[in-house]
Amino acid sequence: MRTFFLISGLFLLSASVAVAAPGIDVATVTNAPGGGQTYTVSIQTLIFMTLLSLLPAGLLMMTAFTRIIIVLAILRQALGTGATPTNQTLLGLALFLTFFVMSPVFDKANESALTPYMDGKISAQEAINNARAPFRDFMLGQTRDSDIELFARISGKESIESPEMVPFSLLVPAFVTSELKTAFQIGFIIFIPFLIIDLVVASVLMSMGMMMLSPMVISLPFKLMLFVLVDGWALIIGSLAASFN
């Protein structure tokens, strides 16, 4: 987790370097009439703070978090348990499962960028470029070619010679789109067994003339029993982690 936050700092440094202009002070002091002084925060500081608030969300979109949290949310909807597990539980599980899946990527970024930079062997710009490479390889491995072609066509950059030449501004939205497709495909497969149970219970209740009884009340214990018998949590989490290989 320490590596994740340090890598986040590197990406934030790259963003701040991009918007920084030499010679711009963080704050300026102006003499006001009557001997007073006024303080003005520069636009550079405002941009830096804005990037700081947006960076975690941006990094999460470049990792396995999107697919994992969507599948877990669809699973909860399929079970019909309402707010159980809670949002905090699902987010925590998705976050730590993301760390588990992304640990090889974080390790590569740590070895090639973070450690040499902390030791003073490479510059900040070199560390940023080295840190981007593992994330680029991960996203390219999980992104469909059709999604890359879609955003290349939209941006007018259809003459990309190789996947390594795909810019980050094009790769990230293509990766997120591909992750959404994959997450919904996995969620559809998860939903089918629970949907069958709901249909069977609803058909039985209608045949018995019990129109006023909600099928969800009867089907919920059967769905929970099925999920427990097949060791559902281990099956879902294991399948999610394996889907990134």
Residue 21: predicted pLDDT: 43
| DSSP letter, residue 110 | I
CA-closest candidate to residue 226, choices 186, 195, 184: 195
- What are 54's two structure tokens? 């947006």
Residue 219: predicted pLDDT: 82
Per-residue pLDDT of the chain (245 residues; tens, 9 = 90+): 555 544 555 554 454 444 444 444 445 555 555 555 544 555 656 666 776 777 777 777 888 898 999 999 999 988 888 778 888 999 999 989 988 988 888 888 888 877 887 777 777 777 778 888 888 888 888 888 888 888 888 877 767 777 677 888 888 888 999 999 999 999 999 999 888 888 888 888 888 777 777 777 788 888 888 888 888 889 899 888 888 87
Rg (CA), the chain: 25
HEC states along 22-86? CCCCCEEEEECCCCCEEEEECHHHHHHHHHHHHHHHHHHCCCCHHHHHHHHHHHHHHHCCCCCCC
Residue 178: predicted pLDDT: 92
- What are 39's two structure tokens? 């303080």
